[in-house]
Amino acid sequence: MTQIVLETKDLTKTFGARKAVDAVNITAYEGEVFGFVGPNGAGKTTTLGMALGLVRPTDGEVCVLGQRVTPNRVQALRDVGALLGAPAFVPYLSAWENVELVARLSPGVNKKRIHEVIELVGLTESARKKVSKFSTGMKQRVGLAMALVHRPRFIILDEPTNGLDPAGMREIRQLLRTLAENGTSVLLSSHLLNEVQQVCDRIAVLHRGRVVAQGRVDELLNRQKPAVRLTVHDAEAAVRAFESLTGIENVQASGNSLLVLGVDSQAVMNHLLQHHIIPTEITAQKTDLESVFMDLTSAN
């Protein structure tokens, strides 16, 4: 049976009168890349802060690797690596010294492993430079190296590709997939929906402190209703024709362009031909996580 690496039960955090996290229930399984998405201020970092024992929950509980974080924080987080928000490091030390300092917390982490992890995140050439002189992307790589150095079973990464160039982002995405394939469970919190769609197996969508959807990425994408964008010579005639099409939910017109929601392109084409209307252009709207996300967050 697949082990649960992170489980929250009605996790709630209140700051004064404001509920930052409201009865959040999420479950992440061993060996998967779990995405945690939501707009800024949705409560993602606060939820992760509670999972990492940095923030005290107002209500509910959070279990990491089978242990309740409160009160077993020390045991629960022993095999966890984390990069929360902007990477934390000692600014006057070099990348190597920072990783070495963190490695001292775990017995058995030797210089070979430090070298390995520095190479893994692509910092070999800058390893001896002071971190304070690094660019945001390079600092992010140091943070990743520090999160990975003790070979954790579960890593929690909050916006790990922040500040990286497209090539760097791709490298990190590949790294996360490789880690998951090698048995490390990953929780990736990001607002880059394209990145989450490419990397994650399952996701939870957080909006205004509440989980509005959770499940496999492909299931969530399939849940999205089809949409077709087309251009016609007589938009008014086309709109009238669609009134008799079964399954149609909405037609949005903008000049000669129409967006038809709820039916696929084949049904749209057949129906228009029956009414002797020939579109000059027709494309099935690609279902992506962004449209799913927009639907979910606007509905809530």
Partner 1 sequence: MFLRLFAIETRKTLKNPGLWIGLAGVLFLLACATLFRHVQILNGYAEFSGGLEKDLLSGLAFFNQIGILAYAILSAGIAAFDYVDRSLHLWLTRGVSRLTLLTARLTAILFFGLLLVCVSVIAVLGLSALSRGLFFGGVDTTHLNPAALPSTVLRLFWSSLPYLALTVLLAVLSRSPFFAAGGTILYSSVVEPFAPALGEKFPWLIRYMPASLSRVLQNGALALDRHALPISPDAIMPQGQAIFVIGMIFLLLSIASFVIFSRQDLGG
CA distance 216 to 64: 20
Work out which of 26, 84, 187, 277 binds partner 1, going by CB under 8 A.
84
Q: Is 74 in the site for partner 1 (CB under 8 A)?
A: yes
Instruction: Give the nearest distance from C-beta 72 to partner 1 in angstroms.
Output: 9
Touching partner 1, residues 44-63 (CB under 8 A): 45-46, 49, 52-56
Work out which of 28, 102, 123, 292 binds partner 1, going by CB under 8 A.
102
Find all residues with CB under 8 Å of 127, minimum gap 6, and list them. 94, 95, 96, 118
Instruction: Give the nearest distance from C-beta 137 to partner 1 in angstroms.
Output: 18
The SS3 assignment for 63 reads strand
Question: Residue 6's CB: how many other CB atoms inside 10 A?
Answer: 24
Instruction: Give the nearest distance from C-beta 104 to partner 1 in angstroms.
Output: 6
CA distance 82 to 168: 19
Work out which of 14, 25, 27, 75 binds partner 1, going by CB under 8 A.
75
Dihedral sign (CA 66, 71, 75, 79): positive
Work out which of 59, 61, 97, 201 binds partner 1, going by CB under 8 A.
97
CA distance 218 to 139: 33
CA distance 186 to 14: 27
Residues in the chain: 300
**Closer residue to partner 1 in complex, CB, 84/235:** 84
Instruction: Give the nearest distance from C-beta 207 to partner 1 in angstroms.
Output: 19
**Closer residue to partner 1 in complex, CB, 78/229:** 78
Q: Is 117 in the site for partner 1 (CB under 8 A)?
A: no
Work out which of 3, 70, 92, 300 binds partner 1, going by CB under 8 A.
92
Q: Is 41 in the site for partner 1 (CB under 8 A)?
A: no
CA distance 43 to 265: 38
> Token pair for residue 78?
């022993």
**Closer residue to partner 1 in complex, CB, 89/293:** 89
Q: Is 153 in the site for partner 1 (CB under 8 A)?
A: no
Work out which of 95, 146, 175, 230 binds partner 1, going by CB under 8 A.
146
Dihedral sign (CA 87, 89, 94, 98): negative
Q: Is 91 in the site for partner 1 (CB under 8 A)?
A: yes
Q: Do the beta carbons of residue 55 and residue 13 sit within 8 Å? A: yes
Q: Is 77 in the site for partner 1 (CB under 8 A)?
A: yes
Residue with tokens 């209500």, as numbered in its chain: 59
CA distance 202 to 26: 11
Q: Give residue 26's Cα distance to chain centre.
A: 13
**Closer residue to partner 1 in complex, CB, 92/174:** 92
The residues binding partner 1 (CB under 8 A) are 45-46, 49, 52-56, 73-78, 80-82, 84-86, 88-93, 97, 101-102, 104-106, 146, 150, 156
